[in-house]
Amino acid sequence: MPAADGTTGFSVLQNELKGKSTRIVLVAFDLLYLNGYDLRKLPLMERKAHLIKLIAATDIQFSESFQTDGREIFKRACKVGLEGVVSKVRDSVYASGRGNNWTKKTCAQRETLTIAGFALDGNTWDGIYLGRRKGKDLVYAGKVDHGFDKASVAELRKRLTPLIRKTQPYAKKIVHKGIWVEPQLLAEVEYRAKSAEGKVRHPFFKGLREDM
What CATH number has the domain bearing residue 177? Answer: 2.40.50.140
> Where are any strands of DSSP class E within the chain?
27-28, 33-34, 37-38, 61-62, 84-88, 102-106, 109-121, 124-134, 137-144, 179-180, 186-191, 193-194, 200-201, 204-209
This prediction's pTM = 0.62
CA pair distance 172, 202, nearest whole angstrom:
23
Question: How many structural domains does the chain have?
Answer: 2
> What is the SS3 assignment for 59?
coil
pLDDT at position 32 is: 96
The residue from 41, 74, 106 where one domain ends is 106
Q: pLDDT digit of tens for each residue in the chain (212 aa)? A: 555 555 555 556 656 666 666 677 889 999 999 999 999 999 999 999 999 999 998 999 999 888 888 888 888 888 877 778 888 888 999 988 778 888 888 888 889 999 999 999 999 999 999 999 999 999 999 999 999 999 999 999 999 999 999 999 999 999 999 999 999 999 999 998 788 788 998 899 999 987 64
Residue 69: exposure state from Cβ atoms within 10 A (0-12, 13-18, ≥19): exposed
pLDDT at position 83 is: 77
Indicate which CATH number applies to the domain containing 91: 3.30.470.30
CA pair distance 10, 2, nearest whole angstrom:
9
Per residue in 3-29, is it b (16+ CB within 10 Å) or e — as a string? eeeeeebebbbebeeeeeeeeeeeeee
Note down the domain range covering 78.
10-106
- Which residues, 6+ apart, have CB-to-CB distance to 173 below 8 Å? none
pLDDT at position 100 is: 84
